[in-house]
Amino acid sequence: MPLRLLRRKTNAKLASKEDGLSNGMSNCALSSDCITPLFSVREKELIVDSWQRASSSSDLGADLVARLLNDKRSQFRTLLERRATCDIPMEEDQPFTVAIVKNSYPRAAAIGDGMVSFLHKLILTMKNPTQSQDELTDMCKELGARHYKMKVWFLAENWLSIKRCTTDCILERDRSSKARFLRRSQGSSQMTKLNNESSEKKRRKERPEEKAWFKVLQFVIRNMKQGFLEASLRTNQRLDLSFSSLHEERRLSDTETPICPFQRTTSERVMHDFDEEILL
């Protein structure tokens, strides 16, 4: 076969393979079967099991809030002092415990219970094989939109604090629950073994449960931010329409009164304040 024809035949085969690969990738992109699951089966098992043990007691919310209040990076204390009426004023370096939160700061405890309730609902949805990833995303976006409506806006370091405190709280309670179970069932020798293994794992590397929970909370935070942003954009669009309508009415009015260049309409003030106060 002449060299020129051989080259043509080879190029045609390569083009055919590339077209097939391209079509396969396109079909895969359109098929839900080709979408990589957000969480692996093992990660779901770790999350569900650790959550069930950690949430077995009723004071998980108060524990979570106490950790947030004790974390210097968190805005939670400032937010609570500004928004909620506290029965007892918060001292500058006051340490918080579960008992103090439950007895002296019921509003803070209620917020913690709300956080626990949301995580519980999220994990039940994650556990259900018929639920889609989009439903998890929508739950988090709705929570972000509610934060925008309540004007609860966080700085970046506060999100890091929430992720760290929530993970630590759940996993420490998970370990405590395991320890109590072993203490009742197998005695002190197994307890010593568990403690040694736990210490060794801490020295070696991050535990699988910790990685899984970081992944969950990163997903929650990312979609909360998206929901917050979408709510803010919708608000800005409504304000733009309102301002345009008001401007048109004034333009068409025969009795239009001059506006001082330093005077602002209500819509303009709201938009300006909104732009200044975005903290997310």
Query: In this predicted model, what pLDDT tens digit does every residue of 78-93 receive, in sequence order?
Result: 877 776 556 566 777 7
**Residue among 133, 4, 8, 113 nearest 63 (CA):** 113
Residue 4 burial (CB count, 10 A): 8
In this structure, what token pair is assigned to residue 149? 């409506």
- Look at 18 and 76; give whichever has higher pLDDT: 76
Return mean pLDDT, the chain: 74
Q: What is the DSSP letter of 94?
A: -
Domain boundaries, given as residue ranges, for the chain: 37-243+265-277
pTM score, whole prediction: 0.66
Ramachandran bin of 166, using left for φ above 0, alpha for ψ from -120 to 50, beta for the remaining angles? alpha
**Residue among 33, 11, 37 nearest 24 (CA):** 33
Average pLDDT estimate for 266-270: 40
- Look at 27 and 115; give whichever has higher pLDDT: 115
The percentage of the chain sitting over the pLDDT mark of 70, rounded to a whole number, equals 59
CATH code for the part of the protein at 37-243+265-277: 1.10.490.10
- Look at 175 and 119; give whichever has higher pLDDT: 119
Average pLDDT estimate for 85-105: 80
pLDDT at 276 over 90: no
Predicted pLDDT at 17: 46
| Residues 49, 149: Cα–Cα separation, whole Å | 34
pLDDT at 201 over 60: no
Predicted pLDDT at 198: 55
